[in-house]
Structure 1
Amino acid sequence: MATILDSCPMGDDQVLSEPRQFKALGHALRHRMLVALRQRPATFAQLATALGAAKGTIGYHVKILERAGLVRVAYVRQVRGGTEQYYEPTSPRLRIAADAPVGGGFLVKAALTEMLPPDEAAPDVTILRHVRLTTAQAHALAASLEQFAGDLPDQPTGEPYGVLLSLYRADIPALPADPG
């Protein structure tokens, strides 16, 4: 089963399977850049301001994302005798291939690096629940989770939240039948 990063309609997925793609996304700054670029195309200078990093550092990391096929030049604008390149993600959503060298743990690590400390004014809920399902039930639940993630609104003026939905086979020991 594939794992999904970000939300958009089915069919617009970029399937991640190459080690260079995961290496590019495994760096916290590059992950944050890609998340920021989901808002709109941006220049090195705009990304540097938003991420609190040097423009040269941003340029280096954008080039790694570009070589990995995760971002591209959206358009070029002439400015005072020079040009500015605006970068955008190559697709609205990324999907981890079923046979990829990483799995859900990759996403959990990414989510953990972007989590802010709890805030009393903002909802913050993390739940881990184990259930026993048939294969058919697991497929139906996976489809429901994909539909739910795709239906979440994205308000440009809203506060940023992350939603990590995961259905995974768990290594839970089964107790033998109770003889009593």
Structure 2
Amino acid sequence: MTVRTRRERIISTPAELKAIADPTRTAILQVLDDRIASAKELSDWLSMTHGRIGHHLKVLEANGLVEVVRTQKVRALTEKFYGPTFTHLRIDLSGGADLNPLTFMFGQAAREAAPIDEQPFDTFGRLYATRMTESRAREFQGRLIQLADEFSESGEPGEPLFGFAGAVYRAASYGDTR
């Protein structure tokens, strides 16, 4: 049995964001979340060419998202096996990346989601706006983060992959007369 400790990776640069926003790289990271794999194994599992997988692995490796965790001699070649450098990703755009974090996060969730006919739920979420104090909004944000952390730590190997997206944010107040 493999015991994994929590290793959080903070994504903050445009290059890192671009690296995880690509659907092929997202698929590679999802496979590597369950097991280490070689480029050949990834190309077989994802039904993509070895060259395409190799290119995307280089981008992920250059951005510190995957690493070679094992090598194996196969005939005259050395086969590399890759694994993720993290167990949890967190996006931090406070450093001035020219991107709206809500747009990125929910866009990424939409890119990762399975087709609608494969979803087991008849309702996916809620979108509300309500007036409250900033301290009350911070309280909701804290509870949401706790729920997200609980969600990410409750994975069960071999079970279907589910995603979680949530945010508490200040909504635009159009026509507010206060």
TM-score band w.r.t. shorter chain: 0.7 to 0.9
Is 2:62 the counterpart of 1:67? yes
Equivalences, count: 168
Is 2:33 the counterpart of 1:35? no
**Could you state the TM-score of these two structures normalised by the residue count of structure 1?**
0.81
Counterparts of 2:174 and 2:140, CA distance in 1: 22
2:82 aligns to what SS in structure 1?
A: strand
Runs of 4+ residues deviating >6 angstroms: none
Deviation at 1:175, TM superposition (A): 4.8
Which residue in 1 is equivalent to 2:102? 104
Structure with the bigger RCO (C-alpha within 8 Å, sep 6+) is 1
Which residue in 2 is equivalent to 1:51? 46
Which residue in 2 is equivalent to 1:116? 114
The superposition leaves residues 32-65 of structure 1 with CA deviations (integer Å, 9 ceiling, x where unpaired) of: 2122211121111121122221111000110011
**Could you state the TM-score of these two structures normalised by the residue count of structure 2?**
0.82
Taking only aligned residues, the RMSD between alpha carbons, in angstroms, comes to 2.3
Q: Which one is further off, 114-123 or 129-138?
A: 114-123
**Structure 1 spans left out of the alignment, 5+ residues:** 1-7
1:38 aligns to what SS in structure 2?
A: helix
Which residue in 2 is equivalent to 1:144? 143
In structure 2, the CA distance between the partners of 1:121 and 1:92, relative to structure 1 (3 Å rule), is closer
Alignment of 1:67-86 (within 5 A): 67-86=62-81
Bigger helix fraction: 2
Alignment of 1:7-46 (within 5 A): 12-46=7-41
In structure 2, the CA distance between the partners of 1:120 and 1:162, relative to structure 1 (3 Å rule), is closer
Counterparts of 1:147 and 1:82, CA distance in 2: 46
Counterparts of 1:96 and 1:121, CA distance in 2: 25
8 Å Cα contact 2:8-2:89 kept in structure 1? yes
In structure 2, the CA distance between the partners of 1:21 and 1:122, relative to structure 1 (3 Å rule), is same
How high is the sequence identity, in percent, across the aligned residues? 30
The superposition leaves residues 52-106 of structure 1 with CA deviations (integer Å, 9 ceiling, x where unpaired) of: 2111100011001111111111222333453221111111112222234131211
In structure 2, the CA distance between the partners of 1:74 and 1:131, relative to structure 1 (3 Å rule), is farther
Deviation at 1:142, TM superposition (A): 1.7
2:116 aligns to what SS in structure 1?
A: coil
